[in-house]
Amino acid sequence: MNEQQGLLIGEHFLMGDYAAAEGAIMAGCRFFAGYPITPATEIAERMSIRLPQVNGIYIQMEDELASMNAALGASWSGVKSMTATSGPGFSLMMENLGLGIMTETPCVLVNVQRGGPSTGLPTLVSQQDMMQARWGSHGDYEIIALSPTSPQELFDLTIRAFNLSEKFRTPVLVMTDAEVGHMTERVAIPPPGEVEIINRPQVRKGDMPPDKYRIYQDLHPDCGFDTVSPMAAAGEGYRFHITGLTHDEHGYPVMNAEANEWNVNRLMSKIRDHRDEIIQLEEHNLDDAEVVVVSYGISARTSLWPIEQARNDGIRVGYLRLITIWPFPEKRIADLARRIRAFVVPEINMGQIIREVERCAAGQAPVFGVNRPGGEILNPEKVEKTIRQAAGQM
Amino acid sequence: MVPHGIVQIIEERCKGCGFCVEFCPRGVLVISQHTNAKGYHPPEIIESTICADCGLCALLCPDFAIYVERSETSLEKKIEPDTRKKFKS
Amino acid sequence: MPREDTINGERLKLSGYEPTDQSDWVTGLHPMDEMLRGERLPHIWCQGCGLGTALTTFISALQWLEKNQKWDLDKVAIVSGIGCTGRVAGYIRLDSFHTTHGRAIPFATGLKLAKPELNVVVFSGDGDIAGIGGNHFIHAARRNIDINVICVNNFNYGMTGGQVGPTTPHGARAVTTQYGNFEYPFNLPYLAAAGGASFMARWTVLHARRLEWTLRQAMAHRGFSFVEIIAPCSTSYARWNPEGQGLDPQKLRRRGLEVMKHYQKVGKIAHHTHPKDATITVDGNGLITEIIEGVFIDDPKPDFQAAIEQMAHSAKEKWIAAKKTLDERLQLPGRTDYVPRTEVQLGGFGGQGIMSAGNIIGQAATIYDKLRASLTQSYGPEARGGAAGSQVVIASDPIHHPHLIEPTSMIIMSQEAYAKYVVNLSAGGILFIDDGLVRLPRNHRQDIETFGISATQIAEDLGNSRAANTVMLGFWTAIGGVVSKPAMIQSLTDSVPPKTIEVNLKSFEAGYRKGLRIKGRQ
């Protein structure tokens, strides 16, 4: 039985967490290291059942620190790898998410957000880790984070997360939540042929003379790799070195400001330069909009109904959903800010992504938040009321 | 026949830790009077004939500054600092 | 031409970064140079530090394995953490990984599991392995994963200047225990043994030859092997403790050597000592008086690579069976009539199959009736006994709001669920209860329709009390269900364990027929 036959395809009534696992397997993930934590445990459970069926490895590590590092290690053996967690584990994974970023190691981290802070509200929804996703590890870096609204999209975005992590040789976050993760809906899975799968540019034994190989080749367009340098795996004879220290093209530590400038600029520009390709938005009625609702994940989905109500009452409401949260679509917000009356930003936290909207609106348009801490999806009436307020009706 | 070794010393690498001199079972080496570029006193062979090629000096040396060759294969040769061959590939 | 770029306005030339080679290290002069990254040497370790010797014995062991056991050194990967020993990875010409502090072992675990043909070695210090990384150390030993852990123990955190560590002897001095360490240290081989490691040994770097032999053994050992290398920290630990003759000016330049000489006096070779007795003894003021050395345990237990392969075999068999049932699923035409947003609340206590009942409804609605459905759950931490609720929203149009706003039917199987949910049922809605378990109070709402069935009793009579929820589903489908019966039957068959399909179908039918009778009388 070859691996292809091990793929789940067709229509299924699938929990979001399970859809994430099946998406990862479809994307080629063959290693999962994780630690049980509500509401992400079901991803680990599904992977523990399914990975052995496709020649993959599931291992439950002793904590989230170990899980993140095992995923990085597996990636350096040339295997697409993943871990999944929720708030408390996400915090524990920060340092080694940074190691993955600095060493440019592809892997995917799914964060099924739950009420925080601390142990918070394990079985209930929140979107309170959005800024931690961007700034959680120490130092300057860019990160890619996607946010789904349904089990179907969690399946699709997990595949996209793997493709982006392979293409840009960086860890990618899927920022979902307890609501979408524990919701069960119809998930249509296309046969493998119809799904675009991207694999890292890889250097295998004999592809080039080992001493010619640079593990962090610079990004000159003329160096033949448009995004990142090819990645050797352990055991292929390249005897490369990687380190979390500031390093040079060989991966050797270099302890000076100039090397750090090259290093950090490289890490940031490889994502910033490709923002247009990475950023995905869903837009409705923005052309004539006077009020634009900017949201993401479950909050974007539960705003659709109040938006419909407001539009029926003649308020010209536009809808801008951030499928990609990070990097943030700065230009899109700035352009809109110049010609609309106000933004409304519904999110299940006390105001996080709203800060980015305000920053990019730069005072050109007021920004109204619809906020509540964790525990419950946003109340549609509250969203509708804020839309009316933003439209100057209240 | 007791094996016989020729001790080769790469003076520029030595940090003068003294391990080789102290633990050579035959007392082949002493701390030299001269120093290398970094001011360390490298070891010096005072009695080359009694080296039994046990290789302990090479194994103990933390800086890859000393090794032993089986005598019949090579003559004693002094490593001159200027026989430099850069690593560049 | 290096590419221009602007980062927050400032023009920046993104040139490639090839550092000028400051190394004055001429390579190719020493037989081990081929195993070193010449361009990165001389290494950072202090005069008289034992790390150089530890690395030398390791390279010597590798070269022996390559020559005598035909090892392909391309397949050896070395992982190290942070600290003086952490720098080993950067000096040795192998696939090398310099990870974060304490996390070398989990990284190595991932590396090894994903590519079992690799020989993975973790080479790190006492702080890294037994301090911050202690949890990973004992778990790796417990797993008996086939990696080799080499821990260079110089009794303190050297790189940061000589602070006390998890192996600093009781009473010994360190930068942060200048009045004598009041804590007690780990016995690392004993810790590894307690974890479950199948090979452990300890040598001081003075016994370089024996250490090299042991490293050969450890590398070739299948399963988790642990080698503790005691090495002098000539700059910090040896300055604070009598082994290095403390601040004695004459010895100032060669404290490492004094410590080595001390090892010669206190080292005691005792192979096959039980690790709990393989102690490092100290006197009153923390001076080491005895170090038990040797190979303490060498009994290879099967590492779990074989178990993984065996597991994969049975997993694939299970998948082939599962895939067959999935492929043989009946394709129903689905409904074409427009179904407005319809909300169902199921409630009961954990263990009554409230979640699976919701799942059966949702699956019937989507996969077989080709509608849209969203199932959400609410339950406490208790797996059994606590309140359990699941909600299903069914509609033809996309479901924007997955939670219930106006539930029009409720399936309630416990008194607690009745009290909790019935108040939300919209006026004119239908309440289905297991009237064997739910008693309607006097002030039961009159603005709704209520139908009872003794589901649990019926299910017990049919031989499986756990099918009570299925009886309720049949009852609900007949009277108020928005999902077609064929879809429910097919979804039920997919969802219950194969052995119980028959009793579940009977239970569904019993509930369904009772529902039809009641509906007939209306």
Question: Any idea what the CATH number is for the domain that residue C462 is in?
Answer: 3.40.920.10
Neighbours of A206 (CB within 10 A): 9
Structural domain harbouring C1:
1-20+32-42
Alpha carbon of residue A394 to chain centroid: 37
* C72 compared with C310, residue with greater pLDDT: C72
When mean pLDDT is compared across A196-205, C308-317, C372-381, the lowest value belongs to C372-381
Nearest by Cα to C111 from A73, B39, B52, A133: A73
- Per-residue pLDDT, C380: 67
- Per-residue pLDDT, A228: 79
How far does C194 lie from chain B, in Å, by closest CA?
A: 32
- Per-residue pLDDT, C485: 96
Residues B60/B20, Cβ–Cβ less than 8 Å: yes
Q: Is the pLDDT of residue A277 over 70?
A: yes
Residues C281, C424 share a domain: no
Best mutation site among C25, C40, C229, C234 for testing chain B: the one with the most B CBs within 10 Å? C25
- Spatial separation of the C-alpha atoms in residues A330 and A387, rounded to whole Å: 22
Does B18 contact C257 at a Cβ distance shorter than 8 Å?
Answer: yes
Q: Residues 347-366, chain A: which have Cβ within 8 Å of C?
A: none
Q: Is the pLDDT of residue A225 over 60?
A: no
- Per-residue pLDDT, A3: 77
Best mutation site among B21, B64, B77 for testing chain C: the one with the most C CBs within 10 Å? B64
Cα angle for residues C413, C417, C418 (degrees, 5° grid): 85
- Spatial separation of the C-alpha atoms in residues C156 and C233, rounded to whole Å: 8
How far does C312 lie from chain B, in Å, by closest CA?
A: 45
- Spatial separation of the C-alpha atoms in residues A248 and C223, rounded to whole Å: 35
- Spatial separation of the C-alpha atoms in residues C110 and B34, rounded to whole Å: 51
Residues C63, C36 share a domain: no
Per DSSP, which regions of chain B are E strands?
A: 5-9, 29-31, 43-45, 66-70
How far does B23 lie from chain C, in Å, by closest CA?
A: 9
Cis ω on the peptide bond leading into residue C42 (within 30° of 0)? yes
- Per-residue pLDDT, A219: 52
Note the pLDDT tens digit of each residue in A345-373. 999 999 999 999 999 999 999 999 999 99
Q: Is the pLDDT of residue C40 over 90?
A: no
Q: How far apart are the first and last CA of chain B?
A: 42
Residues C454, C408 share a domain: yes
Encoded tokens for A42:
């079901």
Q: Is the pLDDT of residue C513 over 70?
A: yes
Q: Does C251 touch chain B (CB under 8 A)?
A: no
Q: Is the pLDDT of residue A221 over 70?
A: no
Q: Does A92 touch chain C (CB under 8 A)?
A: no
Residue A336 half-sphere exposure, CB side, CA atoms within 13 Å? Answer: 31
The pLDDT confidence band at residue A220, using thresholds 50, 70 and 90, is: very low
Q: Is the pLDDT of residue C491 over 90?
A: yes
Q: Is the pLDDT of residue B87 over 80?
A: no
Q: Does A377 touch chain C (CB under 8 A)?
A: yes
Best mutation site among B9, B11, B13, B19 for testing chain C: the one with the most C CBs within 10 Å? B19
When mean pLDDT is compared across A50-64, A168-182, B28-42, the lowest value belongs to B28-42
- Per-residue pLDDT, A46: 98
CATH of domain B5-73: 3.30.70.20
Q: Which of B18, B56, B67 sits opposite C30 (nearest CB)?
A: B67
- Per-residue pLDDT, C17: 53
- Per-residue pLDDT, C342: 97
Q: Is the pLDDT of residue A223 over 80?
A: no
Residues C109, C16 share a domain: no
SS (H, E, C) C353-383: CHHHHHHHHHHHHHHHCCCEEEEEEEECCCC
Q: Residues 181-200, chain A: which have Cβ within 8 Å of C?
A: 182-186
Give the three-class secondary structure for C458: helix
Does A30 contact C139 at a Cβ distance shorter than 8 Å?
Answer: no
Q: Does A30 touch chain C (CB under 8 A)?
A: yes
Residues C495/C447, Cβ–Cβ less than 8 Å: no
Residues C411, C280 share a domain: no
Q: What does the pLDDT average to over C513-520? A: 92
Task: Rounding to the nearest 10 degrees, give the CA dihedral for residues C502, C504, C510, C516.
Answer: -110
User: Is CATH 3.30.70.360 what the domain over A10-194 is classified as, yes or no?
Assistant: no
Beta bridge partners of C99: none
DSSP assignment letter at C301: P
Q: For chain C, what percent of residues have pLDDT higher than 70?
A: 93
Q: Which of A96, A242, A252 sits opposite C97 (nearest CB)?
A: A242
Encoded tokens for B27:
């007392």
Whether residue C324 lies inside any domain: the answer is no
Number of domains in chain C: 3
Give the three-class secondary structure for B77: coil
Encoded tokens for C260:
């080595």
**Residues 6+ away with beta carbon under 8 Å from C246:** C239, C240
Residues C519/C478, Cβ–Cβ less than 8 Å: yes
Chain C residues whose beta carbon lies within 8 Å of the beta carbon of residue B63: 42-43, 52
* C135 compared with C39, residue with greater pLDDT: C135
DSSP assignment letter at C235: T
Residue C436 is which amino acid?
G
Q: What does the pLDDT average to over C19-37? A: 80
> What CATH number does residue C90 fall under?
3.40.50.970
β-pairing verdict for C225-230 and C199-204: parallel
Q: Is the pLDDT of residue A135 over 60?
A: yes
Whether residue C238 lies inside any domain: the answer is yes
Note the pLDDT tens digit of each residue in C331-369. 899 999 999 999 999 999 888 999 999 999 999 999 999
Examine domains A10-194 and A282-390 and report if their fold is the same: yes
Residues C91, C229 share a domain: yes
Does A235 contact C118 at a Cβ distance shorter than 8 Å?
Answer: yes
Q: Is the pLDDT of residue C379 over 80?
A: no
Q: Does A53 touch chain C (CB under 8 A)?
A: yes
Q: Is the pLDDT of residue C211 over 80?
A: yes
- Per-residue pLDDT, A44: 98
Q: Does C208 touch chain B (CB under 8 A)?
A: yes
Neighbours of C381 (CB within 10 A): 9
- Spatial separation of the C-alpha atoms in residues C520 and C479, rounded to whole Å: 10
- Spatial separation of the C-alpha atoms in residues A347 and A356, rounded to whole Å: 13
How far does C318 lie from chain A, in Å, by closest CA?
A: 8
Residues C254, C345 share a domain: no
Q: Which of A33, A235, A237 sits opposite C110 (nearest CB)?
A: A33
Cα angle for residues C343, C403, C381 (degrees, 5° grid): 115
Q: Where are the domains positioned within chain A?
A: 10-194, 282-390
Task: State which H helix or E strand residue C349 sits in.
Answer: strand C342-349
Residue A241 is which amino acid?
H
When mean pLDDT is compared across A369-378, C204-213, C242-251, the lowest value belongs to C242-251
- Per-residue pLDDT, C22: 58
Task: State which H helix or E strand residue C140 sits in.
Answer: helix C134-143
In order, the DSSP letters of C143-212 are: HT-SEEEEEEE-SEETTTT-EE-TTPPTT--BTTBTT---S----HHHHHHHHT-SEEEEEEGGGHHHHH
β-pairing verdict for C163-164 and C199-204: unpaired
- Per-residue pLDDT, C252: 65
The pLDDT confidence band at residue C14, using thresholds 50, 70 and 90, is: very low
Range A44-48, long-range pairs (CB < 8 A, 24+ positions): A44/A84, A46/A17, A46/A18, A46/A21, A46/A22, A47/A21, A47/A82
Does C320 contact A239 at a Cβ distance shorter than 8 Å?
Answer: no
The residue in chain C having the minimum alpha-carbon distance to the alpha carbon of residue B8 is: C30
Task: State which H helix or E strand residue C76 sits in.
Answer: strand C76-80
Residues C366, C386 share a domain: yes
- Per-residue pLDDT, C378: 80
Does C114 contact A30 at a Cβ distance shorter than 8 Å?
Answer: yes
CATH architecture of A282-390: 3-Layer(aba) Sandwich (3.40)
Q: What does the pLDDT average to over B45-65? A: 93
How far does C327 lie from chain B, in Å, by closest CA?
A: 58
Query: How deeply is C197 buried, as exposed, middle or buried, from its count of CB atoms within 10 A (0-12, 13-18, 19+)?
Result: buried
Chain C residues whose beta carbon lies within 8 Å of the beta carbon of residue A302: 400-402
Neighbours of C213 (CB within 10 A): 18
- Spatial separation of the C-alpha atoms in residues A173 and A326, rounded to whole Å: 9
Does A13 contact C366 at a Cβ distance shorter than 8 Å?
Answer: yes
How far does C88 lie from chain B, in Å, by closest CA?
A: 12
- Per-residue pLDDT, A4: 83
Q: Which of C105, C113, C377 sits opposite A57 (nearest CB)?
A: C113
Sign of CA dihedral C145, C147, C148, C149: negative
- Per-residue pLDDT, A121: 94
Q: Does A302 touch chain C (CB under 8 A)?
A: yes
Give chain C's mean pLDDT: 91
- Spatial separation of the C-alpha atoms in residues C307 and A88, rounded to whole Å: 32
Residue A96 is which amino acid?
N
Note the pLDDT tens digit of each residue in A287-323. 999 999 999 999 999 999 999 999 999 999 999 999 9
Does A11 contact C366 at a Cβ distance shorter than 8 Å?
Answer: yes
Residues C196, C144 share a domain: yes
Q: Is the pLDDT of residue C97 over 70?
A: yes
Residues A275/A129, Cβ–Cβ less than 8 Å: no
The residue in chain A having the minimum alpha-carbon distance to the alpha carbon of residue C114 is: A74
Q: Is the ipTM of this complex over 0.90?
A: yes
Q: Does A236 touch chain C (CB under 8 A)?
A: yes
Q: Is the pLDDT of residue C454 over 90?
A: yes
Q: Is the pLDDT of residue C507 over 80?
A: yes
Does A186 contact C372 at a Cβ distance shorter than 8 Å?
Answer: yes
Q: Which of A69, A183, A244 sits opposite C375 (nearest CB)?
A: A183
Beta bridge partners of C449: C430
- Spatial separation of the C-alpha atoms in residues C493 and C504, rounded to whole Å: 8
Best mutation site among C11, C59, C111 for testing chain A: the one with the most A CBs within 10 Å? C111
The pLDDT confidence band at residue A218, using thresholds 50, 70 and 90, is: low
- Per-residue pLDDT, C245: 75
β-pairing verdict for C76-80 and C95-98: parallel
Q: Which of A11, A239, A266 sits opposite C367 (nearest CB)?
A: A11
Give the three-class secondary structure for B42: coil
Residue C181 half-sphere exposure, CB side, CA atoms within 13 Å? Answer: 26
Does A185 contact C367 at a Cβ distance shorter than 8 Å?
Answer: no
SS (H, E, C) chain A: CCHHHHCCCEEEEEEHHHHHHHHHHHHCCCEEEECCCCCCHHHHHHHHHHHHHHCCEEEECCCHHHHHHHHHHHHCCCCCEEEEECHHHHHHCHHHHHHHHHCCCCEEEEEEEEECCCCCEEEEECCCCHHHHHHCCCCCCCCEEECCCCHHHHHHHHHHHHHHHHHHCCEEEEEEEHHHHHCEEEEEECCHHHCCCCCCCEECCCCCCHHHCCCCCCCCHHHCCCCCCCEECCCCCCCCEEECCCECCCCCECCCHHHHHHHHHHHHHHHHCCHHHHCCEEEECCCCCCEEEEECHHHHHHHHHHHHHHHHCCCCEEEEEECEEECCCHHHHHHHHHHCCEEEEEECCCCCHHHHHHHHHCCCCCEEEEECCCCCCCCHHHHHHHHHHHCCCC
Q: What does the pLDDT average to over C380-400? A: 86
